Amino acid sequence: MIVDINVSLAYEVAEPVDLVLQMRAPSFADQRLIMETFDIGTPEHVTETAAEAGLGARTLIRTSEDFRSIYAARVKIDRPTLDITALDMVPVHLLPGDIVRYLMPSRYCPSDELQSFVASEFGHLSAGQKIKAMRDWIFERFDYRPGSSNAQTTAVDTFVQRQGVCRDFAHVLVTLARASAIPARFASVYAPHVTPQDFHAVAEVYLGGTWHLIDSTGMADASEIVRIGVGLDAAEVAFLTSFGPISMTEKSISVTILEP
């Protein structure tokens, strides 16, 4: 599958501010960047640095003027949809060292608080069957409701309220997986069928010795997702983080399929 991505962001800046952007789609084994343009104007300072897990990059910016970022990319995705239920988990004592951190509770994913629930609700299932059951449980019981959560909402808050947006759905699945001793992480992505069009968020779970994308909202299949970056939770992969006051004046995102 080939998809086109077009993003335009604009912000008013009242005083000098530092920004961290993570919105570019990197090339991985299962997604290849065919074309890319990235225009951020002429801020006072720009630095590129590797993002979490070495997947993707962050752009560090210092500016004292209104800021605009225009991004366009064409990406070829070569990722089959797998039967997740057929995959086994890797025992904790055999996990690679760089995977172990994705077992740990984090700011938005306090997995230690849901271990009892996971044991009672999903304890009879194993590995991939458990992940599919968790995904289906979230999809069937949670309402997708824009505006129902904020930057402080954790997976436990969403678990109790049974509503949220893609960010919240992903946090809950990551949390439930970690509570089952299955490594899981948050992935910031682009996907063509997200409604309304926006940055999207899904979970990645570590089964069968590799990572697999899972979307609890049902809006994106693994075969059509373009990863931007990954992290313990949303705090590590925000498309823009501001260290100072700014105000968004424009946000436009379009992801379209060119070839299925």
Mean pLDDT confidence for 168-189: 98
Q: Considering the chain, what percentage of its residues have pLDDT values greater than 90?
A: 95
Tell me how far CA of residue 240 lies from CA of 13, 57, 64, 116, 141, in angstroms: 14, 12, 16, 35, 30
Residue 244 contacts by C-beta under 8 Å, 6 or more apart in sequence?
15, 16, 17, 18
Q: Is the pLDDT of residue 68 over 90?
A: yes
Q: Is the pLDDT of residue 69 over 90?
A: yes
Q: Is the pLDDT of residue 80 over 90?
A: no
Mean pLDDT confidence for 207-218: 96
What pLDDT score was predicted for residue 198? 95
User: Tokens at residue 172, please?
Assistant: 């809950």
What pLDDT score was predicted for residue 89? 94
Tell me how far CA of residue 218 lies from CA of 40, 60, 201, 202, 252, in angstroms: 33, 33, 11, 10, 22
Of the pLDDT bands very low, low, confident and very high (cuts 50, 70, 90), residue 255 is very high
User: Tokens at residue 48, please?
Assistant: 């590129």
Mean pLDDT confidence for 197-201: 96
What pLDDT score was predicted for residue 6? 98
Residue at 145: amino acid letter: R
User: Tokens at residue 58, please?
Assistant: 């962050």
Average pLDDT score over the chain: 96
- Tens-digit pLDDT profile for residues 97-135: 999 999 999 999 999 999 999 999 999 999 999 999 999
What predicted TM-score, i.e. pTM, was given to this entire model? Answer: 0.96
What pLDDT score was predicted for residue 259? 83
Fold that domain 2-78+239-259 belongs to in CATH: Immunoglobulin-like (2.60.40)
Of the pLDDT bands very low, low, confident and very high (cuts 50, 70, 90), residue 231 is very high
What pLDDT score was predicted for residue 96? 96
Domain boundaries, the chain: 2-78+239-259, 84-234
Q: Considering the chain, what percentage of its residues have pLDDT values greater than 70?
A: 100
Q: Is the pLDDT of residue 155 over 90?
A: yes
Which backbone phi and psi does 216 adopt, to 5 degrees?
Answer: -75, -15
Fold that domain 84-234 belongs to in CATH: C8orf32 fold (3.10.620)
